[in-house]
Amino acid sequence: MADREALVRVVVLGRSVRRLAFRPGATLRDVLDDAAIDTAGRDLHVNGRPADLNAVIGDGDLVTVIPRVRGG
């Protein structure tokens, strides 16, 4: 069976919602780097769960990029 492109929805809170295509086996880092989404100072979630940049992304996953809240 030939590899096909997979789709992921990326939500950058306060900025945008995008649908991105990627190759099977791609990591969160691959997807966000290809989309030029800055991850510095942000929390990352995949399907509502905390994730790191090495997490493998699957077809139909929801990636959320959340700015960290500071203050008191």
Which pLDDT tens digit goes with each residue over 28-57?
999 999 889 889 889 999 999 999 999 999
On whether residue 1 sits in a domain, the answer given is: no
Q: Count of domains in the chain?
A: 1
On whether residue 46 sits in a domain, the answer given is: yes
Radius of gyration of the chain (CA): 12
Q: Taking 70 as the threshold, does the pLDDT of residue 4 lie above it?
A: no
Percent of the chain scored above 90 by pLDDT? Answer: 46
Residues of the domain holding 20: 6-67
Q: What is the pLDDT of residue 3?
A: 60
Q: Taking 50 as the threshold, does the pLDDT of residue 1 lie above it?
A: no
On whether residue 12 sits in a domain, the answer given is: yes
Q: What is the pLDDT of residue 28?
A: 95
Please state the pTM of the whole predicted model: 0.81
**Phi (first) and psi of residue 2, to 5 degrees:** -75, 145
Half-sphere exposure of 32 (CA within 13 A, CB side): 26
Closest CA to 45 of 22, 21, 64, 72: 64
Domain at 27, CATH number:
3.10.20.30
